[in-house]
Structure 1
Amino acid sequence: MPSVALLLPGAGAQYPAMAYGLYRYEPAFTTAMDTVLELLGQAGERLYRLWSSGARLRTVAEVHPLLFAVCHALSETVRDRGLRPGAVLGQSVGELVAAVQTGVLPLTDAVRLVAVQADALAGAPAGGALAVAAAPPAVSPFLRGGTVVAAANGPGQTIVSGSEFGLAATRRALEGAGLTWMRVQVPAGLHGPLVTEACLDTLPAFEASVYTAPHTPLLSGCAGGRPEPERAVDPEFWALQPARPVLLDAALGQLATVGALLCAEVGPGHGLAVQARRHGHRAVSLLDGCVGAPHEERDRLRQALDSLLLGDPGDRPDNKPTARVAWLRPPGGGSA
């Protein structure tokens, strides 16, 4: 069987009823979803009602646990098909899924931690994020009001986060410079100082878990690649990730060091697969932002898994807007 690199996304990849078309039709997916939702207790019951009704996810307390569950369930579906993960790369909340998939954390601990983390982040000062169609050095001069670079995704995309006041001032500065921007559908000022205090509050919960060295190569968006062995088992490294910038471009650059792998974005969107292809990796997204009838998600998943089993994910257009990112001004001279 081909070896596959699992790419696990974070907030911004979600959409209403994401992957619900697979539930009760894909046994491995259904079992894994049920397990996570049951571990979440009453919160899991509420999340199931939101998920099955197609309601929009509005808070971190909704987005993070449900996105974690979907990405974990899709990862288990990949394994159920006989595909062997040769590496796992996590971004934002996808890092905790990566911790499970590489054996750093048991699922029970990871579910507990994602719930604690989501509740803490939901209480952080209000904020949001923008995607800018430029590299960080070109964006930094136009940051205003405490807004910071939250993610370096590639030469053509930088994510900035901050308060709504800071984002509004930054938007005006970007427009004055002729830079294209988009609003990212994240419910907090993640990967910046707005959430640092909330992350510190979760540290005791992270310190209560036991960490094991990864049995599969682990790449971290926070670390910008493979974390040092001692860092991979450090509770503080995991607890503070939502407040640290995501160095996705650097992490994808290191992916080649673990071998020539096929890449599968194991989540609802296709943003990580797009960036992986820009690094020369062969990549496919399991659902590709498939917002439509439930059978379309099932068809898309089966096509993607078949292409991975054949060892040829093929090429897909990488410039279409997704359901999670809304254009707030015309693309003009570029796209993010």
Structure 2
Amino acid sequence: MNAYVFPGQGAQFPGMGKDLYEGNEKAKELFEKANEILGFRITDIMFEGTAEELKQTNVTQPAVFLHSVILALTSDINPDMVAGHSLGEFSALVVSGALNFEDALRLVSKRAEAMQKACEINPSTMAAVLGLEDAKVEEICASIEDELVVAANYNCPGQLVISGSNKGIEIACEKMKEAGAKRALPLPVGGAFHSPLMEPAREELAAAIEGTTFSTPSCPIYQNVNAQPFTAPEDIKANLIAQLTSPVRWTQSVQAMIADGAVKFTECGPGKVLQGLVKKINRPTEVAGL
């Protein structure tokens, strides 16, 4: 069975999507439709902007989404199952037919704005922890008193990202190193994504998701919050709302897809990050880019 996976924030690069726009009429139409929906020419920033300009949350999230979805929609693909890493879950929902392109882009734009606002309300950050068991990382996070620190992204064995208050992350990084982590380094992000500190964004996004029509997808989508396959629109909505304040269980999602018969993972979108993670989760699995 063929699994298609979609990257999240961080996969962007200057010039992304330009070849698609110039080489495919349908892609050009979709990009222009996106400019219209967003109310600014995101294509100008994607194709000609600097890495710094692309890093703004209100640009990054729609840009990665557009690159992934338009690449998939202009290719002849027939997934047996899909999954997306954080933001990538929205791309997976479009490609599987659970959401239409326009509605998904509006939700992605809303999500980016809501997350930006939540970051301003609760100054916070994230850090990557390499070389420790998941259980040890969780134990250290739970041991930090008076500050919030939680596991946020289970990317692959030995690579876990934590989220929390600025002071909490600083304390956690020291404790992780003392416990034997190869590295524990703060990430250049604007806030504690996938943690309870994103509650203001979750509330804002929940209203937008509830007001959007979802359909039954053509194949199961393995969702971040619990790494399980879903096809019922109401379940998909609930999981998508919970995603902002819950950890991304990527390791567990890939393991579940393999257990359910996935033999090949194809990454749709900018970069090769997910191909690398799949290989670290299960080395024999075949990976490819679209």
- For the aligned pair, the TM-score class normalised by the smaller chain equals 0.7 to 0.9
Q: Which residue of 2 aligns with 1:199?
A: 202
1:70 matched to 2:67: yes
Q: Which residue of structure 2 aligns with residue 220 of structure 1?
A: 223
The 8 Å contact of residues 74 and 266 in structure 1, kept in 2 or not, is answered as yes
Deviation (angstroms), 1:219: 1.3
Alignment partners' CA distance in 2, 1:37 and 1:205? 20
Residue 53 (str. 1) matches residue 49 (str. 2): yes
Matches within 5 A, 1:117-136: 117-124=111-118, 125-133=122-130, 134-136=132-134
TM-score by length of structure 1 reads 0.75
Compared CA separation, residues 55 and 233, structure 1 to 2 (3 A): closer
Offset, 1:209 = 1.0
In structure 2, do the counterparts of structure 1 residues 185 and 34 end up closer, same or farther at CA, with 3 Å as the change threshold? farther
- Asked if structure 1 preserves the Cα contact closer than 8 Å seen for 2:169 and 2:186, the reply is no
Distance 1:35 1:230 in 2: 25
Q: Is residue 2:92 matched to residue 1:89?
A: no
* Structure 2 unmatched runs, 5+: none
* 1:84 Cα deviation after fit: 2.0
How much identity, in percent, do the aligned residues show? 26
Gaps of 5+ in 1: 287-304, 306-336
Aligned to 2:33: 35
- The alpha-carbon distance between structure 1 residues 190 and 139, as it changes in their structure 2 partners (threshold 3 A), is same
Per the TM alignment, residue 59 of structure 1 is displaced from its structure 2 partner at its CA by 3.1
- Distance in 2 separating the partners of 1:159 and 1:152: 7
Higher mean alpha-carbon deviation, 177-186 vs 188-197, is at 177-186
Compute the displacement of 1:28 (Å).
4.9
CA distance in 2, matches of 1:19, 1:170: 38
Tell me how far apart the structure 1 counterparts of residues 133 and 18 of structure 2 sit (CA, whole Å). 35
**Greater alpha carbon shift after TM alignment, 248-257 vs 136-145:** 136-145
* Structure 1 equivalent of residue 267 of structure 2: 265
Letter in 2 for 1:210: T
The equivalent residue for 1:102 is 96
Q: 1:185 to 1:103 in 2, by over 3 A?
A: farther
Conservation of the 8 A alpha-carbon contact between 2:153 and 2:161: yes
Give the direction of change, closer, same or farther, for the CA distance of 1:196–1:23 in structure 2 (3 Å limit): same
Match for 1:14: what amino acid?
Q
Whichever residue aligns with residue 256 of structure 2, its letter is Q
SS in 2 for 1:240: helix
Distance 1:249 1:177 in 2: 22
* Structure 1 CA distance for aligned equivalents of residues 165 and 19 of structure 2: 35
Are 2:215 and 2:233, in contact at CA under 8 Å, matched by a contact in 1?
Answer: no
TM-score normalised per structure 2: 0.86
